[in-house]
Amino acid sequence: MSWVFTAEKRFYLHDGETLLDGMIRTEHKDVRFMCRQGYCGACKMQVKTYTGRLTCKKTPLAELDDDEVLACCCLPEGVLTVAYRHG
């Protein structure tokens, strides 16, 4: 289990739940996604801080900066703070 902090909420992720699935489950209003497969980039999030490992369920195909993850692929451990990349 890990904890996630966004501008909208604090919530925990179940084992094996992606960041995107957790944001949808907790009814984030500004969450964006399309493919859920790691190639469109719509779910891109900026990582502010994290205490554990950030592993990927799939290899991201969308282009990412060093401080970005794809929420649909991201399986964080520990405590993660993220921000939306879209306006």
Please give the residue ranges that form the binding site for ligand FES (CB under 6 A).
Answer: 33-36, 38-43, 62, 70, 72
Minimum distance, C-beta of residue 48 to ligand FES, in the bound complex (Å): 19
Minimum distance, C-beta of residue 34 to ligand FES, in the bound complex (Å): 5
Q: Report which of 54, 59, 49, 42 is spatially closest to residue 13, judged by C-alpha positions.
A: 54
The token duo for 26 is 């907790």
Beta bridge mates, 69: 45
Would you give the end-to-end CA distance of the chain in angstroms?
Answer: 29
Q: Based on CB atoms, which residue is closest to ligand FES, 51 or 65?
A: 65
Minimum distance, C-beta of residue 39 to ligand FES, in the bound complex (Å): 6
